[in-house]
A and B are shown apart, each in its own frame.
Chain A
């Protein structure tokens, strides 16, 4: 081999950093396979969801969620009235499923943020017996089938369950039914219009099941982050006289906020998407339907278009989640990775002008050149 090709290769090296390198056959094959796979299993189904949802036109799509009340003056035949009434009932149930999904997420996500923070804090900043066991337990919901997770609660609180006797007699008010009843005859103007009996087959059980299934997300996204950061900054804050709460707020929380948000997003996505666990404890009662459960029922009623319409909401949520997730990932990486790199370059390669000026000053004071 002569020297010429080598020189050429070296010269080509510089732009090669920007231009993708020349791919080999295997490289092309892998790229093609990946694209094919993603198209077949991700892109096509998502496109299908939207096309099916809109297959009967925008009007039908909107009707899934909202059917206006009939004009009382309009003369409708009995079958027309029955059809309209059925449509209105279905839309009402769909709405109720959206509401319930939102309520469950609104309860579960804040609780899991608090729990995840506490767990990550305990695991990363303290050394204690059973620490490894705790880490394993946090991962448990990831390794258990959601259906089993739901079943656990049935076996705990259901009739004949361990806490069955207590749980089935438990009567608790439905917080969403809080109504104003006025002062006439009451000393307290607010009252609950509905109460629930028992835990299983009520939204409470669904909240519990969702907490179980989603609790690893926040802790899992915080543990590696807090592990890397160690506790030196907290110690520094404490040594400067800051109290525990101030240290947590200004130092710990400031350092983990993006990781925490990342965990909360994943937790939210899962809370909305959970099917198996809530399906078991919902008792398949219509008013206990969340969005995924509602989709299943619509599908079983052969109402494809409505099922896909509700599915578009979940797909949309997934897309929004993905976008926020990438933004947050980019932010966390920037705050974490950029720093050590920059430090190395600065301390090794070129000291800053300020440092050099000081070196010169010091050298001057000692009467010599740096």
Chain B
């Protein structure tokens, strides 16, 4: 399955976006709010139309741009589930099958069997007679998923599927979704603003910003080799150095317009007691934040008073025996330099 989608929103919500998703893939659209990810998803679903003449959506090389939502064979799961309040769980899941034109509509027995199979898949066998308001958030989300899967969609589209759930349920449902996808192998695209969620679940991630796709690659690549500063910033905490191109951090020079910018993740900041080869930077510990498995250390550089965040494992922290106001040296392990051409 290949798909190209491209659009000009009225206020340029999407700028010439192209995306090709392989059959059976699980893809995350990741981006801050307002980056156009939901718009893109809705255009793929056919809920919204791309601007006339701007491009097309292809499913298996077939142009579906002018096909309406109901005929595209997509399964759409809404952030707030959009379950039919007046129908039981069973009726909700059966809705898609019962809505087919009578020629294609399966018999009652087939519908029943199919719904029971789906209920088993989402592990809600005993809830068929319940109504949506008698279910917890996680259960509702699973019903919504079963309802979307009932019509055997070509593509499953999830709009912030876990956005309305609390953290624990969210984490578990995430793993569950990954497992479900491994079993049923349906092409899935989901929208999220949670980097952790995208990194953990997706086969590939499309990082979006201001209506454009900044990078479309595997989670590992997106994290380890970000294409540009935006991707780096969006995927976690970072330290920023304005520097000369030789990689050694230097105080920011105001006269240099296209100075390369160096980004370093806090866990890539190494803290040393001594300065073995003279390349490390002298700094002072200003704050120590204990966060369970990791320890967040705030430091301030001696040369330009810039503050730096470092993240140590609990073990490394104990080995160093750091205390507030300690004088230390820092070294950067894995830094990324970009020529920054836009304002921060």
Contacts and interface: CB of A to CB of B under 8 A. Distances in A.
Interface of A: 232-233, 235-243, 246, 250-251, 254-255, 335, 338-339, 342-343, 346-348, 351-352, 354-355, 358-359, 361-362, 366, 370
B176 to A, nearest CB: 6
A348 B47 contact: no
Given A235-B69, A254-B86, A354 B126 contact: yes
Given A342-B133, A351-B169, A354-B123, A235 B82 contact: yes
A352 B176 contact: no
B95 A239 contact: no
Contacts of A347: 136-138, 165-166, 169
Contact of A343 (B45, B69, B137, B172): B137
Interface string B50-77: 0000000000000000001111001110
A124 to B, nearest CB: 16
Nearest to A253: B86
B151 A241 contact: yes
A239 B85 contact: no
A60 B96 CA distance: 63
A354 B127 contact: yes
Nearest to A351: B136
Given A232-B80, A347-B137, A358-B123, A239 B75 contact: yes
B85 A335 contact: yes
B95 A242 contact: yes
24 contacts: A235-B78, A239-B47, A239-B69, A239-B76, A240-B148, A241-B99, A241-B151, A242-B95, A243-B70, A250-B84, A251-B86, A254-B85, A254-B87, A339-B132, A343-B136, A346-B136, A347-B169, A351-B136, A351-B138, A352-B136, A352-B139, A354-B123, A355-B138, A370-B172
Nearest to A239: B76
Given A236-B76, A239-B69, A362-B176, A354 B124 contact: yes
Contacts of A254: 84-87
B287 interface: no
Nearest to B68: A238
Interface of B: 45-47, 68-71, 74-76, 78, 80, 82-87, 95-96, 99-100, 123-124, 126-127, 132-139, 144, 147-148, 150-151, 165-166, 168-169, 172, 175-176, 179
A354 B144 CA distance: 16
A108 B271 CA distance: 82
Contacts of A359: 168, 172
B137 A242 contact: no
B139 A355 contact: yes
A236 to B, nearest CB: 4
A238 B136 contact: no
Contacts of B147: 236, 240
A91 B135 CA distance: 60
A334 to B, nearest CB: 10
B305 to A, nearest CB: 43
Contacts of A354: 123-124, 126-127, 139
Contacts of B84: 233, 236-237, 250-251, 254
Given A232-B78, A235-B47, A236-B76, 12 more contacts: A232-B82, A235-B78, A236-B78, A236-B83, A237-B84, A238-B70, A240-B150, A241-B70, A250-B87, A254-B85, A352-B136, A355-B169
Contacts, number: 114
B82 A233 contact: yes
A188 to B, nearest CB: 39
Nearest to B147: A240
Contacts of B176: 358, 362
A354 B175 CA distance: 16
A22 B75 CA distance: 57
A237 B139 CA distance: 19
Nearest to B136: A346
Given A241-B99, A255-B85, A354-B139, A343 B133 contact: yes
A244 to B, nearest CB: 9
A232 B69 CA distance: 13
A360 to B, nearest CB: 10
Contact of A338 (B124, B133, B179): B133
A347 B68 CA distance: 35
Nearest to B144: A236
Contact of A339 (B68, B85, B87, B172): B85
B86 A255 contact: yes
Nearest to A345: B136
A206 to B, nearest CB: 38
Identify the 6 closest CB pairs spanning chains A and B, nearest first.
A240-B96, A232-B82, A242-B99, A254-B86, A347-B137, A236-B82
A240 B133 contact: no
Contacts of B126: 354
A346 B82 contact: no
A23 to B, nearest CB: 36
Contacts of B83: 233, 236
B106 to A, nearest CB: 13
A335 B132 CA distance: 11
A254 B92 CA distance: 13
B133 A339 contact: yes
A83 to B, nearest CB: 60
Kindly name the residue among B75, B123, B132, B165 whose own CB sees the greatest number of chain A CB atoms within 10 A. B123
